[in-house]
Structure 1
């Protein structure tokens, strides 16, 4: 079992959700029996999470995102699931659970890492999904989108380098995966420090981003997470996330 020190104390609490009336967006990295990280869960925990989420929220299909954006939000509590980095354990473990539970997700991938084995300093060798895996996700109703090219934090790059990261990923995805969406999740959840022209129309941050309406800040969409090893917090998270709608829908 691989465990890493918690970084959650550096961030706002996961109970902070979305702007009023906007879907809560969750992000995960791994669904793996042996990795412990604040955005990683075991297959059993992921199954339990989707079951409990399904009782409290409508599962927002990725193809419904444009309608939610154009409609100024969602009329009832809803949740969009996203994954960052495109790890193979998501294909192996999360995909069958999502299909059984009726969920579809957005998978943000760094194009230079597709099909590679990453040597992580703590988690060890980590396989990334192949292009065939990603095409299969699309075939099954999931969405693949950009996590830039090399997975470097934009906060440490100049505007021109960020633009090259974004443009190259956009070009590769368009060529290799027709139908991939021109959306972006910032690597490490960190937006550029300087204005950058030509960013995708929707950009997703992390728990570090402010809770703003998508139509007011489409390039700063907030995501949060379920505390993987603290299931006792899940109820308080879901209760607080539901407060983004009317008090009558909150438990």
Structure 2
């Protein structure tokens, strides 16, 4: 079904931060949210120059009175693949950007007890990597324990996936604050029982609704792979959408 909200051209709710998501930054992998290191650098530069400055993940809030009075961008990464540290982190550092990394927590635990994995589709960040990200100024988030489709689980199993991943991230991050959550595949269960204060992040499947009105399914979008020449126009569109309402 070709519905408008599935298209990347539709950004966030007007007046709210634009949220971008990536999976891989790798020289050879093909995925709709995977960029080569050079393309990722070009994308970050284009977004910052055209849309607005990067929003530190520690500054995200549903309180409109605390939001910047201009467009901002939150960079997020899903699944916790190792190539994001190897290839994305140097780019983020070069542009002074801090990001939110959503980890599949059981896979991070498994990676902590294993040797190097050659297959980039199976190579995940371990908890030492996660703590290094925190020391570098980034923030960890939860992306379920095993990346199962929460909409296909019974309520108890769904809650185990959510609570277990949130608890693991909180312990690794040494945080007493909120641990934000990204739904696997952007599929939101009927009753997403997230801990109090936790924001829930969807994908392009989510509608562009104000975070204060729908804090458990925040829309994210992406830079289409292989369409670098269209990115500037895409970013101008996102910026224009931000101004499409009075604040």
Deviations 1:15-53 (A, max 9, x none): 100111001100000000010111000000000011111
- CA shift, 1:73, in A, is 4.2
8 Å contact from structure 2 (residues 147, 184) kept in 1: yes
Structure with more of its chain in strand, by fraction: 1
Unaligned runs of 5+ in 1: 1-7, 118-122
Aligned to 1:204: 201
Which of 215, 219, 235 pairs up with 2:216?
219
Distance 1:207 1:47 in 2: 22
Which of 217, 235, 239 pairs up with 1:242?
239
Which of 129, 143, 155 pairs up with 1:147?
143
Task: Please give the residue correspondences for 1:79-228 in structure 2 after superposition, counting only pairs within 5 Å.
Answer: 79-114=73-108, 116=110, 125-179=121-175, 181-192=178-189, 194-199=190-195, 201-228=198-225
What is the aligned length? 234
Aligned to 2:55: 60
Deviations 1:194-246 (A, max 9, x none): 22434452000000000000011000100000001111221221111112333
Q: CA RMSD in A?
A: 2.3
Aligned to 2:24: 30
Q: Secondary structure at the match of 1:27?
A: strand
Go from structure 1 to structure 2 and tell me whether the alpha carbon gap of 1:9 and 1:19 turns closer, same or farther (over 3 Å shift).
closer
Which TM-score applies when normalising by structure 2? 0.87
- CA shift, 1:162, in A, is 1.1
- CA shift, 1:124, in A, is 6.7
Which TM-score applies when normalising by structure 1? 0.86
**Per chain length, whose mean CA-contact separation is higher, i.e. which structure has more relative contact order (CA < 8 Å, sep 6+)?**
2
